[in-house]
Structure 1
Amino acid sequence: MTQHSSALGRNDLAVLLLILLVATVLRTAGLNAPLWYDEIWTVDTHVSLPWGDMMREYSMNHHYFFSMKAKLVSQIFGDQPWAYRFPAVLFGVGIVAAIWWLARDTAGTKAAHISALLVALSYHQVWFSQNARGYTELAFWSALGLIFFLRGTRRPTISIWVAFGLTATAAVFTHLTGAFFFVALGLVWLVSLATGFGRPALSRDWVLQPLIGVAIACVLILFVYLPLFPSLIGTMGEVATTSAVDPMQEYQNPIWTVLEGLRTAVGNTGPLTMVVAIGGLIALAFGAMGAHSTQPLFFPAIAMHIIVTLVILLSLDMRIWPRFFFVDIGPVIILAVVGCSHGANTVARAIRHPRIGGPLFATSVVAMVAVSVFLVQRNYSAPKQNLAGAFTLVEETRSPSDRVYAINPGGPIFGNHFDADWTTLGDPESYAKAMAQSGPLTLVVLFPGRMFRTIPQLKQDTEGQLDFVHAFPGTLGDGDVLVYRRN
C-alpha cells in the first residue's frame, strides 16, 4: 500500500458514503434502550442542571463539552435516552470518517476503505457510540489531532498547527484525560526534534509552528476550565484515596486492563480469543513496519499514548479502565490493516510467489470483517444495564409491606432518577442492619461482582436466606442487575 494523490474519485467517495451509512445504521439501532448507571449520573448531576450551573463543579464523571451537546439535543427533543446519546452517535460516525482520512494519509485509499469499514463494524465503537458519554467525541478530536500532527510534521503550515491546537482544546474540554493523547504527541515531536527520526530537514517553521499550536491549546484549555479549577484540584486529590480502598484492586493492574479489553472485544469465544490475540499482535508488528515507510511517526504516536496513559494513571494510583485507551482503537485498526498487507507481501516474497500476496491480504481482510460482524451483534443482545427493567419489575410485584433496597456502590440512583422510595445499601454494616429487621424485603443488586466482594454476607445470603427473582443481563462489564426477595 502506498500513499495516493489527494484527489478523491467518485467511486472512492461512494464507498466512503456507503461505509458511513452502515456505521449510522449500526449506531442508531436500539439507541433508545434504558440508560445505564454512568449515563444516569451524567443526566441527573450534570445535563439536567441549568446552563449556568454546568461548569461550577468538577467531576471525573462529567464530559463537559459533550454534556453541553447532550443537553441541547434533549431540550429540543425531550427527555429520552436516544436524545442524550445522539451526540455520541454523531461523533461515532465522525470517527469512521476521521479514520478513513487518517488511513488514507498513512497507507492509501484501499487501506482507508478497509479501516473505515472495520471501525464502522467495531463492537467497542458501536457500544460507545450508543453511550451518553463523551468517549466517541474524545476519540474524534484525537483522531483529527493525529491527522494534523502527522501532516504538520511532514509539511508544516500555520493553519495545520492552529487546527491542531483547536482539536487539542476540544479533546481536553471533552474530558481532562484527553490531554494524555496530545502530551504523547508532544513527546513524539520532542524525540523527533532531538534525534531527527521521522522528520524532514530541520527548519524554523518545523520548530516554531507546533509551539504556536500548543500555545493556542494551553490558553484555551485554561480559559474553559478556569471556573472549575478549585474544584478540579480537590477532586484530583481524592482520586488516589478512593482507589486505595476500592475492593476491586485489580482495576489498577495493567494486566487486568489488557485482559478485560480482550474479553470485551472477543467475548467468551473459547479458542477464538487466543487466535484473535496472537493474530492481532502479529498484524500490529507488521503494521508498525509497514507504516514506517510512509508515516514513520504514526506507530510511535500510538505507542507513546499508551505509555503516557499508563504512567500517569499508575503514578496517581487511578483505576486503569480500558476506556482510557478507546481513542487508540481506530489507529490500531489502521495498523492491523497495514500489517496484514505488509505481512502478506512479506510471506509472498519469502516463498517466492509474489502473486499470492494479494489473495493472502484479501483473505485476512475477509476474516477481520467476518469476526467484526460476528462480535458486533452482542451490542443488541441486551441493554448496557437494565436499571429501568429492574425498577419496573420490583414496583409491579412488591407488596405494600415490602422494603426495597438497592445495593450499589454509589448514591440513591433509583430515588433520584426513578422517584423510588428505595434505600441504598453500600457497605456490610448497613446491609446487616437491613437484614436484621423482620418482614419481607426485596434486594436489587447492581454490579454484583463488586458488591458480592464488598458485602461478603450478601453472597452467602443469596445461597440461603434470599430467593432469586430475576436477572437482567447487560452488555456492560459486571452490568447484570439481580433481584432477590425474602418473604
Structure 2
Amino acid sequence: MKQTSPMLGRNDLAILLFILLLAAVLRSAGLNAPLWYDEIRTVDTHVSLPWSEMMRDYSMNHHYFFSMKAKLVSQVFGDQVWAYRFPAVLFGVGLVGVIWWLAREVADNKIAHVSALLVALSYHQVWFSQNARGYTELAFWSTLGFIFFLRGVRQPTTGTWIAFGFTAAAAVFTHLTGAFFFVALGIIWLYCLAIGLGRGTVTRAWVLHPLMGVAVALVLVLLAYLPILPSIAGTVGEVSATSAVDPMQEYQNPLWTIVEGLRTAVGNTGPLMLFIVIGGLAVIVFGAVGAHVTQPLFFPSIAMHIAVTLTLLLSLEMRIWPRFFFVDIGPVIILAVVGCRHGADVVARWVRQPQFGRPLFALGVMAMIVVSVLLVQRNYSAPKQDLAGAFELVEETRNPSDRIYAINPGGPLFEAHFDADWRTIGDAHEYSEAMAQPGPVMLVVLFPGRMFRAIPDLKRDAEGQLEHVREFPGTLGDGDVLVYRRK
C-alpha cells in the first residue's frame, strides 16, 4: 500500500495553478445563460425565501447547504443568474483541486496533473459547475472525504478521521444522497476489518478513530436536518409513489442510466462512440489493476459506491438519474489516466520494447485531451433549457385572442417565476378539453419526450394540425422547449 505522497516542486504548483485557472475560465464562460427547470424551482421555492423559512420542510429538489450559499451570494450581488450559480463554479474549480490531491494519493504528480486537466476539461464537470444546484459541492466534499478515508486507513489519526466526519456531514447536508458514498466507504472499512487490516498494536486506533469520525458526522447531520426530520420520510415515500406512475419507466432501469450517461459523455460522435466506449472500458480495467499496487482500496471504493447507490435507489423504487453518479466521474478519470499508463507499460513489455511505454502513455493522454476539448464545446452550444427564450417569444408574438397553455410541468413555473397569465395542461384529459374549445391557441411544451408519451394526442397534433413555431434547444437531456400554434 502506498505510504507517502510524492514530493511537490515549484513546477508542480505552477502546473496546478494553470489548470485551476483554465477550469475557472471554462466554468465562467456563459454563466449567465437562462436558468433551467430545476434551477428555477430551487430559486423560487428555497433561495428566494427568508432565511428563517429555508428549512421549513424537506424537498428532494433542494440542496440545502448549497442553497444557503447561493442565497448569500445573491443577497450580496443581487438576483442575477450568475450569482445563483457562482457557488457551483467555486466548488467546481475546487473539485479540480481535490481530484489533483486524490490522484497524488493514488499515484504520482504526473497522474495528478493529467487527471486534474481532464476534470477541468470534462463536459459533465463544466455543465454541473454552471448549474445552480449542489452537485459540484456534493462531489467536492465526497472527494475530500475519500482522501481522508484513504489516509485514515493508512495511518489512523484522530485529526484525519474527525476531518472525515466533517466532510461526510457537509456532503449529506448538501443532499441526502451524499450518504450513499460514505456508506460505501463504511462497507469497505468493515471489509478491511474482516480481512484483518489493522491487527496488532494499532487495532484500537484503527477501530475507535473511524468511529469517532462517524459519530461527528451523525451528530452534525442530525443537528442540520433537525427542523425538517419529520418530513424527510414522507418525501421519500412520495418520490417512490410518483416514480411508480411515471410514464418514463426506463428512468428506473440501470441500463437506461448507463446508456444515458454514455450518450451525454460522448455525444453524437457516430462510429467514434463505440471506439471511445471500448477504449474507455479498457483503460479503466487497466487502471483498476494499476491502482491496486499503490492504493488497493481506491477502485473497490468507487465500485462499492456505484453498487450501493443502485441498490438503494432500486429498493426505494426511485428514478436512477445519471447525476447520482456525478461523484464518481473524477475518481474514474483518475482510473483512466492510471490505466492509460499501466496499459502502455503492459503493451511495451509485450512487444519487448520498454522504451515505448512513455510515448504510448503520452499518445493516450493526448487522445483523451483532444476528445475532452471536442466534447466540452457542446456545453456552450445552447442553454441548458431556454425557458426564458420561449416565454419572450410567446409574449412578443401572441395575439389578444390567443389562449396560452404550458404543458405540465411548465405551467406553474411560468406563472410563478415569469408572472405569466398562461394556463396549465397537466394530463391527457385536460389537453383534450383545452383543444376542444374553438379559437387560436399557443402551446409551450417542456420535456417533449416525456409529454408526448404522457399525452399521445399532443404528439399526434404536433405532427398534424399544429404549426411548429420554434424549437429552443437545450443541452439538458430532453431539454428542448417546443412552441406550437393553432390558428
Task: Tell me the residue number matched to 2:294.
Answer: 294
Cα distance in 2 for partners of 1:198, 1:341 equals: 31
CA deviations on 1:202-229 (whole Å, 9 max, x unpaired) are 5211111000000100111111111111
For residues 332-351 of structure 1, the aligned pairs below 5 Å read 332-351=332-351
SS at match of 2:294: coil
Contact 1:99 1:112 in 2 (8 A): yes
Cα distance in 1 for partners of 2:12, 2:460 equals: 60
Cα distance in 2 for partners of 1:310, 1:137 equals: 21
Q: In the alignment, is residue 205 of structure 1 matched against residue 205 of structure 2? A: yes
Contact 1:31 1:130 in 2 (8 A): yes
Contact 2:184 2:308 in 1 (8 A): yes
Task: Tell me the residue number matched to 1:242.
Answer: 242
Task: Tell me the residue number matched to 1:45.
Answer: 45
Q: In the alignment, is residue 323 of structure 1 matched against residue 323 of structure 2? A: yes
For residues 414-429 of structure 1, the aligned pairs below 5 Å read 414-429=414-429
1:197–1:424 CA distance, 2 compared to 1 (3 A) = farther
For residues 33-182 of structure 1, the aligned pairs below 5 Å read 33-182=33-182
Which amino acid letter does the alignment assign opposite residue 252 of structure 1?
Q
Which amino acid letter does the alignment assign opposite residue 93 of structure 2?
V
Cα distance in 2 for partners of 1:184, 1:432 equals: 48
Cα distance in 2 for partners of 1:240, 1:10 equals: 52
Contact 1:31 1:81 in 2 (8 A): yes
CA deviations on 1:78-115 (whole Å, 9 max, x unpaired) are 11110000000000000000000000111000000000
Shift of 1:463: 1.6
Which amino acid letter does the alignment assign opposite residue 425 of structure 1?
I
Task: Tell me the residue number matched to 1:444.
Answer: 444
Which amino acid letter does the alignment assign opposite residue 348 of structure 2?
A
Q: In the alignment, is residue 223 of structure 1 matched against residue 241 of structure 2? A: no
Cα distance in 1 for partners of 2:377, 2:390 equals: 24
1:320–1:197 CA distance, 2 compared to 1 (3 A) = farther
CA deviations on 1:301-345 (whole Å, 9 max, x unpaired) are 000000000000000000000000000000000000000111111
Cα distance in 2 for partners of 1:147, 1:281 equals: 24
Cα distance in 2 for partners of 1:290, 1:464 equals: 57
Shift of 1:409: 2.9
Q: In the alignment, is residue 283 of structure 1 matched against residue 279 of structure 2? A: no
Task: Tell me the residue number matched to 1:12.
Answer: 12
SS at match of 2:375: helix
Contact 1:27 1:89 in 2 (8 A): yes
SS at match of 2:115: helix
Contact 1:100 1:115 in 2 (8 A): yes
SS at match of 1:471: strand
TM-score normalised to structure 2 length? 0.98
1:198–1:97 CA distance, 2 compared to 1 (3 A) = farther
CA deviations on 1:394-441 (whole Å, 9 max, x unpaired) are 000000111100012365100100000011112001111110111111
Contact 2:6 2:104 in 1 (8 A): no
CA deviations on 1:357-384 (whole Å, 9 max, x unpaired) are 0011000000000000000000000000
TM-score normalised to structure 1 length? 0.98
| Percent identical residues | 76
Shift of 1:271: 1.1
Which amino acid letter does the alignment assign opposite residue 262 of structure 1?
L
What is the RMSD computed on CA atoms of the aligned residues? 1.3
Cα distance in 2 for partners of 1:147, 1:201 equals: 24
Contact 2:411 2:424 in 1 (8 A): yes
Cα distance in 1 for partners of 2:429, 2:172 equals: 40
1:255–1:124 CA distance, 2 compared to 1 (3 A) = same
Which amino acid letter does the alignment assign opposite residue 249 of structure 1?
Q
